[in-house]
Structure 1
Amino acid sequence: MIQRNKLSIAKLFTQTTAIVILLLLSFALGYYSRPSPPHLLQISQETTTPAAAASVSRIANLPTQLENFRVTTHCSTSPVPPHLVFPTILDRVFNGSSPFTKFPPRHLRSSLKQKRVKGWGSNGAVFENLIKRVKPRVIVEVGTFLGASALHMVNVTRKLGLQTQILCLDDFRGWPGFRDRFKDINMINGDVQLLAQFMQNVVYFNASGSVLPVPFSTGSGLEKLCEWGITADLIEIDAGHDFISAWGDINRAYRILKPGGVIFGHDYFTAADNRGVRRAVNLFAELNNLKIHTDGQHWVLATS
């Protein structure tokens, strides 16, 4: 009996050992056969200090990291002349007629304020400084909300005697929960009336001849402007404030900036520090060999 028990225990031990060995072999084969990360391959070719290895890894892996954020839209090689920018938008977006015609419609009149203008940093000196410097024929504003900065730029261009057209690119949806702060912005059948209120503000200030909404997301809107050949002398970026949104907007907007033009934006100095807009601006400037200037909360990148 004792001998039989010993044999059973030995048999069980042998089977368990075999299973453990097989599992270890499978794990080892899987581990050593997996593709090595590119930055590990780069560093393993030579002996480096930890600091140098981190630097090499960052530089070697940067193109791969940014590849997911590359903008590949094919842009028109025939820029639209400034005097044809508004007609082009009217034709491609509004079926050839102005959205301000007979605005506001009867069913919206009771839901709109006579004027409701709100913005952040919308009257800063940077606007007049850059408009005086660039004397833009076409301005593209990326992120508009209720039009405070756009209407301020209208006043500046009028004061300077400029014939400037301003395209306001925004989906006019706000952000989740924005009505907690703006309870007076009405909603009809789930549609917040930001676009309608923006247009009402434009009409109130008699600016419908100078300002035109382009009511799409910033990404899709900028890509279409590029495809249609619409370029700008001055571009303001003030839409999403996270890194990915700001990075995408800056890259797409830069493609429609005329040579010698200026691209600028808000929220360079915020609580997000180097995790949001500032990080995107700094990285873009570094990769494109541009110098960053600041004016209050605004950042400025000039191409000349």
Structure 2
Amino acid sequence: MREERRLPHKRDGLQFLKTKTAYVIFVVLTYAFGYFSAYYYLQPPSPATTALRTSDDTTKTHDCSIDNFRITTRCGDLLPPELIRRTVIDRIFNGTSPYTDFPPPHAGKFLRRKRIKGWGSYGLVFENLIRRVKPRTIVEIGTFLGASAIHMANLTRRLGLEETQILCVDDFRGWPGFRDRFKDVALVNGDVLLMYQFMQNVVSSGFSGSILPVPFSTGSGLEKLCEWGVTADLVEIDAGHDFNSAWADINRAVRILRPGGVLFGHDYFTAADNRGVRRAVNLFAEINRLKVKTDGQHWVIDSINLI
């Protein structure tokens, strides 16, 4: 009798499954399951997982979610400091110093004897680091008209570091619209004469034997210095101030830093930090378990020895 009583219920259930209502419920449940599954898998990682992922208290940098943005260029065998200037001149300027027969006729009449402008170019951080590190080679990333490079050359000369070389990596194009603020920097057939004015400033200051331009974008310039085996005791970063630019420059610059060298840069405590400088510096330090120090408006990360 119990079996006979159950049969009608089974038949009712089968009939319900054939109705439009059951079909609509099935479609809705399927869509909801798919939506929430996709939402779960597409969620960005939490801030904790974007910084460091560790196992047994050992940092595994290669597991970090930012790993896709790391620089993988293989650096060449290290050049002795005394060969760096000659190598750069050979590789970039076809063996002839760019200061030979300077200025070229088409540019000379447009240059001022000395036109120097910088931002944070005379802070105490420069003397503090040069006194401590006594660098043979300095690389400056972002130089504009050379104010900080010339200041560092003055410091090295005053401190008796006569052999110190300063390489200035910059495309010398400025930024779109910069001539609204610097109308005295000439433009000839679309060529803004920033590099020539930079070189004129260097010559007028008496440092053509100490300062060399590397007239390329920071990315391509640093990549080639790395491939040529150029290393530096000090690397200053003061080029692009958005996060992506600062992050890329830091990760490329650290590859040309000798073990134990010092990486530093401007705009840690200026309006530009909101565009990404401080965030890039802090993230780099956190991932690599390094400490950020500050000196005025500058950030400093020293004793770097990354593999």
Q: Is this a same-fold pair by TM over 0.5?
A: yes
1:201 pairs with 2:201: yes
**CA offsets 1:114-158 (integer angstroms, 9 cap, x no match):** 111000111111111100100000000000000000000010000
Q: Structure 1's 19 and 87: CA in aligned 2 closer, same or farther, altered over 3 A?
A: farther
Q: Secondary structure at the match of 2:109?
A: helix
Match of 1:79 in 2: 78
For 2:210 and 2:132, the matched residues in 1 are separated by: 19
- Match of 2:277? 277
SS of equivalent residue, structure 2 residue 201: helix
Aligned to 1:6: none
CA distance in structure 2 between the aligned counterparts of 1:21 and 1:121, rounded to whole angstroms: 66
Gaps of 5+ in 2: 1-19, 54-60
AA matched with 1:37 = Y
**Counterpart for residue 155 of structure 1:** 154
Question: Which residue matches 1:119?
Answer: 118
Instruction: Tell me the amino acid that sits aligned with residue 31 of structure 1.
Output: Y
**Pairs within 5 Å for 1:107-186:** 107-162=106-161, 163-186=163-186
Indicate how the Cα distance of structure 1 residues 281 and 136 shifts in structure 2: closer, same or farther if over 3 A, else same. Answer: same
What code does the residue aligned with 1:270 have? T
* Aligned match of 2:41: 37
Shift of 1:64: 5.8
Q: Tell me, what secondary structure is at the counterpart of 2:89?
A: helix
Give yes or no for contact 1:75–1:226 (8 Å, CA) kept in 2: yes
Aligned 8 A contact 1:39 1:57 in 2: no
Partner of 1:212: 212
Q: Secondary structure at the match of 1:100?
A: coil
- In structure 2, relative to structure 1, the CA distance for the partners of 1:167 and 1:31 (3 Å cut) is same
Q: Distance in 1 between matches of 2:195 and 2:147?
A: 13
Cα distance in structure 2, aligned partners of 1:211 and 1:244 = 28
Q: Say whether the 8 Å CA contact 1:140–1:167 is kept in structure 2.
A: yes
1:298 equivalent in structure 2: 298
- Gap change, CA 1:57 and 1:209, over 3 Å in 2: closer
Q: 1:17, CA displacement in angstroms?
A: 9.1
Secondary structure of the residue aligned to 2:120 is coil
1:242 offset after TM fit, Å? 1.0
1:12-42 deviations in Å (ceiling 9; x for gaps):
xxxx9999889858855863675852658x9
Relative distance call for 1:57 and 1:293 in structure 2 (3 A) is closer
> What does the per-residue CA deviation read over 1:77-98, in whole Å, with 9 as the maximum and x for residues that have no partner?
x101001001111111111111
Q: In structure 1, what residue type is equivalent to 2:131?
A: K
How far has the Cα of 1:59 moved from its partner?
Answer: 5.7
| Conserved? CA contact 2:125–2:295, under 8 Å | yes
Instruction: Quote the Cα distance in structure 2 between the aligned partners of 1:233 and 1:56.
Output: 33
Q: Following the alignment from structure 2 to structure 1, what is the Cα–Cα distance between the partners of residues 51 and 106? A: 57
The residue identity in structure 2 corresponding to 1:148 is: A
Name the CA shift for 1:248/1:120 in 2 (closer, same or farther; >3 Å).
Answer: same
Is the 1:122–1:148 contact (alpha carbons within 8 Å) kept by the matching residues of 2? yes
Distance 1:154 1:242 in 2: 28
* Map 1:21-36 → 2, pairs under 5 A: 27=31, 31=35, 34=38, 36=40
| Alpha-carbon distance between aligned partners in 2 of 1:166 and 1:159, rounded to the nearest angstrom | 15
Task: Quote the offset at 1:303 in angstroms.
Answer: 1.1
Q: Which runs of 5+ in 1 are unaligned?
A: 1-15, 43-52
Q: Is the 8 A contact 2:185 2:192 kept in 1?
A: yes
Aligned partners of 1:54 and 1:220: how far apart in 2? 31
Q: What letter matches 2:216 in structure 1?
A: F
Aligned-partner residue type, residue 222 of structure 2? L
Change (3 A) 1:212 1:54: closer
RMSD: 2.9
